[in-house]
Amino acid sequence: MLTREQKDFYAEHGYLMVENAVTPDQLARLRAITERLIDASRGVSESNEVYDLDRGHAPDAPRLTRIKIPHKRDPYFWEVLRNSAMTKVLTDLLGPDTAILTSKLNTKAPGGGAAVEWHQDWAFYPHTNDDVLAFGLMLEDVGVDNGPLMVVPGTHKGPVLSHHVNGVFAGAIDPDDPLFDKDRIVSLTGKAGSMTVHHVRLLHGSAPNVSDRPRLILFYEIAAADAWPILGASSYIHALGQARFWEDLQDRTITGKPCLTPRMEKVPVRMPLPPAPDNSSIFKTQESAGARSAFSKAL
């Protein structure tokens, strides 16, 4: 699927754009399911295990920041990950044995849909090695005005910046951190059906949606099977117990099979502890910990 040039680009810069990651039929079905899930949020008045609500959400005008774990809400989100061009990209970058960590459908509403402050995913869930990445499948066209994913190329090779504020894990860096090089920011825009790929240690964020169009991006966070999560990171899997963890691990396997010999690499780790007052989502983590916004002033 990926050319040698694309693989080399990802290795050097920590991100990639892939066009036509799903077929037109797959895209249409994903969009229809998403519309149904958004419509079902009309009767929800506060965030829950399925929805993160945005400010202004109402029955006649649903506004969401996120649909949580969509592959658990409708099996087609799982099916398309396992049987599409995304699957080929996955094995090209991580090898034959892979597992999903989580999924999320970020649904930035028009006219101010919530920003995601700058962060590195690695700060939330360090593993025994960093063969971990995220896919971002665009379900709508994404332009510079409706809150695209933005990245700082090459930061996956550098340090993990502090994501703590006032002694708690805030899930965001200080926008005045001298290592945050704003001059190198790249915005990842594209047509519906295109997909971003970013390395788990790549610094990234996204501004509010100031357009009159929605921004729907389906994210999958995925690890090589020999990358094992470190206890204490922010994941439900640590609460499962041994037997249920084994069952869950098999359910999370995308390609190949689980690996029982974790690969240990010398990677920088700082645990995401103590947790923010509300760590139910990245939005709540950043807000409740008092993370400073990088988007309150022009980048």
pLDDT number for residue 299: 43
pLDDT in tens, 199-220: 999 999 999 999 998 899 999 9
Asked if residue 191 is part of any domain, the answer here is: yes
Which structure tokens are listed for 190?
């594209």
HEC per residue, the chain: CCCHHHHHHHHHHCEEEECCCCCHHHHHHHHHHHHHHHHHHHHCCCCCCCEEECCCCECCECCEEEEECHHHHCHHHHHHHHCCHHHHHHHHHHCCCEEEEEEEEEEECCCCECCEEEECHHHCCCECCCCEEEEEEECCCECCCCCCEEECCCHHHCCCCCCEECCEECCCCCCCCCCCCHHHCEEECECCCCEEEEECCCCEEECCECCCCCEEEEEEEEEECCCCECCCCCCHHHHCCHHHHHHHHHHHEEECCCCCCCCCCCCCCCCCCCCCCCCCCHHHHHHHCCCCCCCCCCC
Is position 59 within any domain?
yes
Residue 249 lies in a domain: yes
Confidence band, pLDDT 50/70/90 cuts, at residue 297: low
Domain assignment present for 296: no
Whole-number Å distance between alpha carbons of 28 and 23: 9
53-83 pLDDT tens trace: 988 999 998 999 999 999 999 999 999 999 9
Buried-state track 227-249, b at ≥16 Cβ within 10 A, e below 16: bbbeeebbbebeeeeeeeeeeeb
Q: Domain tally for the chain?
A: 1
Residue 160: how many other CB atoms lie within 10 Å: 19
Residue 293 included in any domain: no
Residue at 299 is within a domain: no
- Residue 189 placed within a domain: yes
28-40 confidence digits (pLDDT tens) = 999 999 999 999 9
* CATH code for position 58: 2.60.120.620
Query: For 11-15, 123-127, 217-221, 240-244, which range has the lowest pLDDT when averaged over its residues?
Result: 240-244
Mean residue pLDDT across the chain: 94
Asked whether residue 297 is domain-assigned, the answer is no
Give the structural domain span for 243: 4-288
